[in-house]
Structure 1
Amino acid sequence: MTTGLFFLANFLFCLAYIVRDMAYLRAITILAALSTLPYFYFLESPLYSAIGWQLAFIVINAVNLTVLLMSRRPVSLDDDQRWLHQHTFRILSPREMLRVLRPARRQRCPAHVALIEQGQSLDKLILLLDGEAEVHAGGQHRATLRAGDFAGEMSFVTGKPASACVVTKSPVDYLAWQRRDLEALYHRDPRLKDAMQGVLGADMARKLTR
């Protein structure tokens, strides 16, 4: 009986190496490790050291499996967050978007005020939530920014002074990320940096098309 469990455990270990989903891999590994315990215990001379190591593997995989499953739980978005996900952050998962939004601060700017000055070095990334703003360069109107559009993103990404000024056409609500907060977020999860570059690229392409 115990020998059969030992062979079953090794079969499960092999199966765990085949599956691609990390949750299944960890779950099968836990079952496999559990299956080895009777074999090691009921030997003529129980292998307590092997049992101890298997228990350690079980605990480590159980903790990581719990964390993984919790990270996959569906997230609840309010109406504003759902709109942002559909219009601006669609290439991110809802959970990733919430992580990006967490360090942002909501602010308000009255009408006919320069949100960004031409030649200004930006240390924050701006995303309009409500209202409109106009982009002016060389004294000429270049574009109109609306809810869901980023402002000054090229200057923020390149670190160069803003090539145009952005003036609010109406009262504007917007989100602002400080550079240091985004860098801290990217340090914790480098994948988010690539994802945000994709978001900004999609925003610029949308503006050019419009």
Structure 2
Amino acid sequence: METLALSDILVLAAAGMFVLGYLIINQVILRIMLLIGTALYIWYYYVVAPTPLWPAIWASAATGSANIIGLGSLLLRKSRLAIPRRFVDIYDHFDTLPPGDFRKLMRLARRSKRPAGYQMTHQNVDVEILYYVISGTIRIEKFGNAFTMPEGSFVGEVSFLTGNPASASTFLAEDGDVLEWDVDALKRRAERDARFRLALDAVITLDLAQKVARAGAQDQDAMARIS
């Protein structure tokens, strides 16, 4: 049996790394496998001929460098190091978002202290600012009725999603810490960045689901008191 030369082993190993990489769904592992394969190809191009195949080496090095940049971006997106310092204390409110997506969302946010009675939305008026109340009870007035909603909730999110005017007037029942986003700016960013749009839709959908669950629990409590 003919013995495989080092160059043969290198090119087979490099191809094997690429094949395995393309079979893996995890993007980080995939990129690591491709990076190993690229390094093996560079080694192969260095030893396969009497003189190194420099054009192929430089081309592979460029491909590997792009892969390293992409890998670094993926790792940063998953790392808490991506969280802006001034928003670290509220990341737990958005922990369904990877840190990188949270960073994108917070870049467009304005964090403010608002006094009790501050009005966030006006019934039947277009919503220009999307709010997230970090702390402070929310008072909602709708069709002559009033009720409260706890902190840790978006305000104006249904209008943001549908483009319709606000269905209720909302106020801070006490001094609160809030995040504010310009609706037009947020929509423009979502149109440009599909990943950002999906992340934003996911966090708003979760907020809506939690509100529905709270409303259901309140209805059950009311029925129990009546019975």
- Identify the TM-score tier after normalising by the shorter chain: 0.7 to 0.9
| Residue 139 of structure 1: how far off its partner (Å) | 1.7
- Distance between the aligned counterparts of 1:192 and 1:50, measured in 2? 37
Residue of structure 2 equivalent to 1:7? 12
Q: Which runs of structure 2 are paired with 1:59-98 in the superposition (5 Å)?
A: 59-75=65-81, 81-82=88-89, 84-86=90-92, 88-98=93-103
TM-score (norm 1): 0.80
- Distance between the aligned counterparts of 1:113 and 1:69, measured in 2? 40
- Distance between the aligned counterparts of 1:46 and 1:208, measured in 2? 66
Q: Per chain length, whose mean CA-contact separation is higher, i.e. which structure has more relative contact order (CA < 8 Å, sep 6+)? A: 1
Task: Provide closer, same or farther for how the CA distance between residues 17 and 95 of structure 1 changes in structure 2, counting only shifts above 3 A.
Answer: closer
Q: Secondary structure at the match of 2:132?
A: strand
Give the stretch that moved more between structures: 94-103 or 143-152: 94-103
The AA in structure 2 aligned to 1:126 is Y
Task: Provide closer, same or farther for how the CA distance between residues 187 and 120 of structure 1 changes in structure 2, counting only shifts above 3 A.
Answer: same
- Distance between the aligned counterparts of 2:45 and 2:139, measured in 1? 73
Task: Provide closer, same or farther for how the CA distance between residues 94 and 2 of structure 1 changes in structure 2, counting only shifts above 3 A.
Answer: closer
Q: How many residues matched?
A: 207
Among 135, 143, 150, which residue is 1:146 paired with?
Answer: 150
Q: Is the 1:134–1:145 contact (alpha carbons within 8 Å) kept by the matching residues of 2?
A: yes
RMSD: 2.9
Residue of structure 2 equivalent to 1:16? 21
Task: Provide closer, same or farther for how the CA distance between residues 64 and 152 of structure 1 changes in structure 2, counting only shifts above 3 A.
Answer: closer
Task: Provide closer, same or farther for how the CA distance between residues 54 and 178 of structure 1 changes in structure 2, counting only shifts above 3 A.
Answer: same
| Residue 177 of structure 1: how far off its partner (Å) | 0.4
TM-score (norm 2): 0.75
Task: Provide closer, same or farther for how the CA distance between residues 19 and 104 of structure 1 changes in structure 2, counting only shifts above 3 A.
Answer: same
Unaligned runs of 5+ in 2: 1-5, 215-227
Task: Provide closer, same or farther for how the CA distance between residues 105 and 18 of structure 1 changes in structure 2, counting only shifts above 3 A.
Answer: same
Q: Secondary structure at the match of 1:111?
A: coil
Deviations 1:147-181 (A, max 9, x none): 11222222232222222211332223311100133
The structure whose residues are more often helix, as a share, is 2
- Is it true that 1:107 corresponds to 2:112 in the alignment? yes
The AA in structure 2 aligned to 1:170 is E
The AA in structure 2 aligned to 1:120 is V
Task: Provide closer, same or farther for how the CA distance between residues 38 and 180 of structure 1 changes in structure 2, counting only shifts above 3 A.
Answer: same
Among 58, 61, 65, which residue is 2:64 paired with?
Answer: 58
The AA in structure 2 aligned to 1:59 is S
Among 132, 136, 151, which residue is 2:137 paired with?
Answer: 132
Q: Is the 1:134–1:166 contact (alpha carbons within 8 Å) kept by the matching residues of 2?
A: yes
Aligned-residue sequence identity (percent) comes to: 28
- Distance between the aligned counterparts of 1:149 and 1:172, measured in 2? 12
Task: Provide closer, same or farther for how the CA distance between residues 50 and 145 of structure 1 changes in structure 2, counting only shifts above 3 A.
Answer: same
